Structure 1
């Protein structure tokens, strides 16, 4: 892992076994020019002789009598988070334990990228990767402190997604949530009996195929002086087999990550409390497994939801929208003013937007734009898709108020329309099925859970707090 600290010394003066020098398409950048002059032009010659073009992520490690220098390419100016993530990964491969660098471009995104890019999930491996401490020159304390708290929330969300499903059961997820109590978050957990007493028939139907009992988690962060409130709902399916509409092996292999929406909500609560954000947050997670057994719910079943609406089950692999329907109705009963829901809901969203972009659906345009702008500031990619009202016809059932699926076309939109049936307050739903789980290593982390959504939630909460000030 990568640890960060501040240093008042510049890269030229710092006593470190490894110094980072940035190289752009135009040559050495920043303190690299002064260091090159002190070394008699040695760095410039190395750049020319190696044919370095300053492309993003391009690197060359030099062993000099004065110490080691890592020449690192910046490419054309872009997202500082990506560059920071790539640098962190390059540094960890060098084998050094200490290094010094200055931030490239805007400090905060670069520092956040360093922390996100160095994330590892290796608790089940015999051998752990060696760490490195990077001293950052000229970085304000507030920048480093904020980035560390945000990255901590993202890392926890990633950890939860990466845990194997035999470890992270619904009860284990609830226990993890209870740990937020130590950070000033009020946490309540409802067991199966309490869930049944509330009338969450859709949630219980999904859960009934598993021997692992369901848990309903509700959270509240109430800092003194908060004038605005944001309610969060996260899909919490800790493993999804598809039920009787069984998934093929390839599709099921990553279904431990079907609770990535819940993980994002939990990670955001951790970071928000650490940052002391002046906004009230409430969170709701319906946690269960979707498995096959003699007790599992079936196609053709009719379920009564917390809202009173009935749903005819036409696909047991469209389970997330059923658990979310009850969670959304619960949030509304609790007085939600606006709701942001995050879920790995549909493969259709991945087909439409690929694996890096989340689909955004908004019942109220202004709130949707606020979420989209928050995601842009946070460096997370979302794109709005329409809540096409005419597609609601696909959800009509001859025997119930709704079906839980339509036909094969417009699946992500139809799923979002289904969710909108259960709330009357402004709702934004982020379908994060694509970006929530990386199938290969990338600039901001390894294969596995990405913690997508944590940073967007925090950016949105900060924006709402400013509006309410």
Structure 2
């Protein structure tokens, strides 16, 4: 993880005169050629070489393409070109901002190990400065807990003609807070499950709150005894198969004169073996990421406090390890969820919805204005939307709010329905609900199950099963491993609520 603080700054110095290791310029694909974007400062000889000899050099300007060239005419030894694609960059739109974010992130991700980089991308207004800064910081991520990696870029300068006024400084500070939240979420997701179990996760939450220095943050932890006494049957049932018992962590941000209250509920299965309904061995190692929702919730609440948003936010981290053992729950067990509803467990690998049910009930008991949950909930989400698009379900207005926030933040969330006819598949002969329904439409059925525990409260459910953990190749500002998906969307949602 990069240490964010003095890592990024603004400069209006001519990039040719910057004393850095590399200067990054954006390239726009134009037919069979490429054109530098927002780089009037570029020496004519080098600009001509890039534009006229693009084919010979193999430069296309495609999104995620990063190439190094000699820094002819620069103080920097290297000129780096990063692709902006073949669509003109309109920095006034969310799509344009995301292009800048991705181009900056692709560059800093590829330039790990350099001490200093200047990003001379189009950054003529506050919104584009923010996008370049966010992308650069998101791309400058490495995870080195278990073995050494090349260090992330040491220092980043964003080239802009803007004065370093209050608005530009605030944009940079927000980018730092946002990137810190995403990095910290990625770190938790990447941590090995022998080091990150429910109690360890609870300790990590306490440490994150303490490190924030925010007096308006408070952490409460319920251990297995308190969960049993409080009727949290989902968490107790899922966690009983592990030697490392479950936890429910409440992280509350309570600013003075809050304009509203939003509850966030995160799935925190620190490892999911499937329990008695055990998963196939192939690919099970990725199940350390089944706590990505809880990681996102924790660091969104911390980020909201660091930014001083005037809206109360309560995060609920539903933490358990789903293991097979002589004490594990069995198919046909009946659990009593917080609040009294009973659930027949037909498949112990549908455990996320059981712990989330407890968290949702606890969240609703505090009467928030909105509840949003985020979970790596179903393999059906990946089947439906692939590895880069997340799903959002829920009440109409809440679902629309999430989609709007995601659009602004540059994350892909697709609205999905909750068809009433699928509820019939959750009928049980012995309990109020079964924990699984028909195989087809499984993502939607899981959402319908969760809906049973929110009552009339406005609610949105985010299924991030595909995008939360990248098992393929890195792209843009997204590394292999934990991605931190959902953090930017949830933080933007809170900002919209606060305003």
Of 17, 20, 37, which aligns to 1:16?
20
Cα RMSD after superposing both structures? 1.9
User: 1:208 aligns to what?
Assistant: 240
How many Å separate the matches in 2 of 1:15 and 1:149?
Answer: 27
- The question of 1:382 aligning with 2:416 is answered no
How many Å separate the matches in 2 of 1:191 and 1:421?
Answer: 25
Match of 2:15, SS state, is coil
User: 2:470 aligns to what?
Assistant: 438
User: 2:204 aligns to what?
Assistant: 176
- Cα deviation digits, residues 180-218 of structure 1 (max 9, x gap): 144331110011111111111121011100010211101
> 145-154 vs 333-342, which deviates more?
333-342
Q: What aligned pairs does 1:329-340 form with structure 2 within 5 A after superposition?
A: 329-340=361-372
Match of 1:33, SS state, is coil
- Cα deviation digits, residues 217-244 of structure 1 (max 9, x gap): 0111011221111001000110110001
User: 1:351 aligns to what?
Assistant: 383
Contact 1:392 1:417 in 2 (8 A): yes
User: 1:45 aligns to what?
Assistant: 49
Taking a change above 3 Å as real, the CA distance of residues 366 and 346 of structure 1, as seen in their structure-2 partners, is: same
Contact 2:100 2:121 in 1 (8 A): no
How many Å separate the matches in 1 of 2:9 and 2:17?
Answer: 16
Of 406, 424, 429, which aligns to 1:393?
424
How many Å separate the matches in 1 of 2:68 and 2:150?
Answer: 25
How many Å separate the matches in 2 of 1:132 and 1:178?
Answer: 28
TM-score (norm 2): 0.88
- The question of 1:62 aligning with 2:66 is answered no
Match of 1:186, SS state, is strand
How many Å separate the matches in 1 of 2:201 and 2:150?
Answer: 25
Taking a change above 3 Å as real, the CA distance of residues 18 and 302 of structure 1, as seen in their structure-2 partners, is: closer
> 1:89: Cα distance to partner?
2.1
Of 140, 150, 154, which aligns to 2:182?
154
How many Å separate the matches in 2 of 1:390 and 1:210?
Answer: 36
- Cα deviation digits, residues 71-110 of structure 1 (max 9, x gap): 3332223522211111112332xx5422323233522222
Of 97, 102, 105, which aligns to 1:85?
105
How many Å separate the matches in 2 of 1:377 and 1:335?
Answer: 28
Show structure 2 runs of 5+ residues with no match: 90-95, 163-167
> 17-26 vs 341-350, which deviates more?
17-26
> 179-188 vs 432-441, which deviates more?
179-188
Of 110, 117, 122, which aligns to 1:104?
122
Contact 1:258 1:344 in 2 (8 A): yes
How many Å separate the matches in 1 of 2:495 and 2:100?
Answer: 21
User: 1:422 aligns to what?
Assistant: 453
User: 1:71 aligns to what?
Assistant: 81
Contact 2:309 2:495 in 1 (8 A): yes
- The question of 1:35 aligning with 2:68 is answered no
Match of 1:136, SS state, is strand
> 58-67 vs 220-229, which deviates more?
58-67
> 1:277: Cα distance to partner?
1.1
User: 1:134 aligns to what?
Assistant: 156
User: 1:259 aligns to what?
Assistant: 291
- Cα deviation digits, residues 18-65 of structure 1 (max 9, x gap): 32233323554356333324xxx2441354235234333242311437
- Cα deviation digits, residues 333-376 of structure 1 (max 9, x gap): 222232000001100111111111111111x2111111110111
User: 2:135 aligns to what?
Assistant: 113
Show structure 1 runs of 5+ residues with no match: none
How many Å separate the matches in 1 of 2:184 and 2:74?
Answer: 40
- The question of 1:5 aligning with 2:9 is answered yes
- The question of 1:286 aligning with 2:318 is answered yes
The count of residues paired between Structure 1 and Structure 2 equals 460
Contact 2:38 2:121 in 1 (8 A): no
How many Å separate the matches in 1 of 2:152 and 2:295?
Answer: 27
User: 1:311 aligns to what?
Assistant: 343
How many Å separate the matches in 2 of 1:17 and 1:192?
Answer: 53
Contact 2:393 2:417 in 1 (8 A): yes
> 1:407: Cα distance to partner?
2.1
Contact 1:11 1:31 in 2 (8 A): no
> 1:286: Cα distance to partner?
1.9
> 287-296 vs 68-77, which deviates more?
68-77
- The question of 1:464 aligning with 2:497 is answered yes
Match of 2:282, SS state, is helix
- Cα deviation digits, residues 406-451 of structure 1 (max 9, x gap): 1211111111111111111111100110111111222123211111
User: 1:452 aligns to what?
Assistant: 485
